[in-house]
Amino acid sequence: MGDLVSVIIPTYNYGHYLGDCVDSILSQTHERTQIIVVDDGSTDDTQKKLDQYGSRVHYIYQQNQGLSAARNTGLAAATGDFVQLLDADDMLHPRAIEYRLKVLKETRGCSWVVGQNYYFVTSPRFLLPSLFRSRWGIHSLDLEARLFQSNIAPPHAFLSRKELFDRVGNFDTSLRACEDYDYWMRALEKGYSPVYSSRGFVYYRQHTDSMSKNQAQQWAHDVIMHHRITKMLQNPPFSEDSGDAVLNRLFAALGILKTLNRATNLDDDNVAGLLKLYENQLREVENTVCLARAGSGHIRLLCLLDRLRDEESRFAGRAGWQGSQRLYDLSRLMVDDSSFTEVVSEYWHHYLVNGDANFKMKLDYFRWLCKSRIRRGYP
């Protein structure tokens, strides 16, 4: 018998989507699944829609308590060794569980894998891939660091061992958005790092009733997450004096600037608070001694500084803010003549002479570095 995967589906008045969702699980090439639907107080025909599946679906009804509470109820009922979260309006590709489970089991020490996600409007099984709207892009490298910037994927793009959920605990019921992002950050605190799977993608339905369409609520919770992430970075295991700590903080700073540029309805207090967090991240980077990183690691940091400068230029002038002197000082510190020569020499030796599976990506890093020097007027 194969491994049992518990699929947890919270739903609230999404009966018209549930059929597609459940069918996508029953169509999995990995057949051994436990389907748990937690009805969070629906007033539509949700239960009737599920009657046709009989014992193949474990149905739980509760009074309306919110998405996080519904997921917690599902976790309590899960008996599998692996857990797949899935919202009622979304779907899985037929081989999504199979492929990601393979990565999860074959990667040493892996408890948490994430794959690609495609947006759709109607049922994807009737569409050619070229007709999909777009996808939620995810990078295959630096997944842990990128989580400090923003959520890297929707909940159903992840497949995890049950022991991760047992250790991290319940979803935060006080959050009305970003509850999954908060959960993954808490998983990082427990020492879990996500692993990327290039196969086994999932589908994310876009529609007007989606919770993600409430931008004001989303932006307000983005602010909450920036504060929580800043606090997290001040404590072990993320406060070590290391190159990874620098990378985490620069990604956190980038996430703050992106929120400031995107969330145009934030009040002055929230804007001032986020700018203070941003300066704090740069100050901590400035105080970290491990800035000089050879090869591709150094190049990644330089590229991040360049992206921060671009985001700063977009926000400059708002709230009387003209940019951070610390960012300029960091850029000058890391792009002096000697370090530039060393980085380029190491780059060409490592990735042109020896070759590399991610050659094109690192070549793009190198081009960004050269572009930054020319545009910023560095020596």
Q: How far is CA 99 from the centre of its chain?
A: 19
**Type of residue numbered 125:** R
Specify the CATH superfamily of domain 5-213. Answer: Spore Coat Polysaccharide Biosynthesis Protein SpsA; Chain A (3.90.550.10)
Retrieve residue 270's tokens.
């929230």
Mean of pLDDT values over 36-44: 97
Retrieve residue 364's tokens.
């793009």
**Domain limits, the chain:** 5-213, 215-376
Closest CA to 368 of 352, 344, 337, 342: 344
Q: Which has the higher per-residue pLDDT, 93 or 215?
A: 93
Whether omega before 237 lies within 30 degrees of 0, making that bond cis, reads yes
Q: Which has the higher per-residue pLDDT, 260 or 322?
A: 260
d(CA 66, CA 63): 9
d(CA 115, CA 88): 19
- Model confidence pLDDT, tens digit, residues 160-178: 999 999 999 999 999 999 9
Check: CB of residue 203 under 8 Å from CB of residue 90.
Answer: yes
d(CA 139, CA 153): 10
The DSSP secondary-structure symbol of 352 reads I
Span of 41-50, 120-129, 190-199 with lowest mean pLDDT: 120-129
d(CA 143, CA 116): 13
The DSSP secondary-structure symbol of 353 reads I
d(CA 369, CA 304): 10
**Type of residue numbered 223:** V
Q: Between helices 268-286 and 243-262, what is the axis angle to 10°?
A: 160
- 41 pLDDT exceeds 50? yes
Q: How far is CA 184 from the centre of its chain?
A: 8
Give backbone dihedrals phi and psi of 79, rounded to 5 degrees, phi first. Answer: -120, 0
Q: How far is CA 37 from the centre of its chain?
A: 24
Chain position carrying tokens 């990874």: 244
Q: Which has the higher per-residue pLDDT, 186 or 332?
A: 186
Check: CB of residue 166 under 8 Å from CB of residue 152.
Answer: no
Q: pLDDT at position 142, please?
A: 83
- Model confidence pLDDT, tens digit, residues 212-238: 567 888 999 999 999 999 999 988 676
Q: pLDDT at position 328, please?
A: 75
Residues ≥6 apart with Cβ < 8 Å to 17: 88, 89, 205
Of the ranges 91-100, 211-220, 230-239, 301-310, the best mean pLDDT one: 91-100
Check: CB of residue 24 under 8 Å from CB of residue 33.
Answer: no
Indicate if the alpha-carbon torsion angle 339, 329, 232, 202 is positive or negative. Answer: negative
Q: b/e per residue, 243-254, with b = 16+ CB within 10 A?
A: bebbbbbbbbbb
Check: CB of residue 225 under 8 Å from CB of residue 179.
Answer: no
Q: Could you give the C-alpha distances from 34 to 6, 37, 85, 90, 161, in angstroms and in order? A: 5, 10, 12, 17, 14
Mean of pLDDT values over 50-55: 95
- Model confidence pLDDT, tens digit, residues 231-285: 999 886 766 555 688 889 999 999 999 999 999 889 999 999 999 999 999 988 8
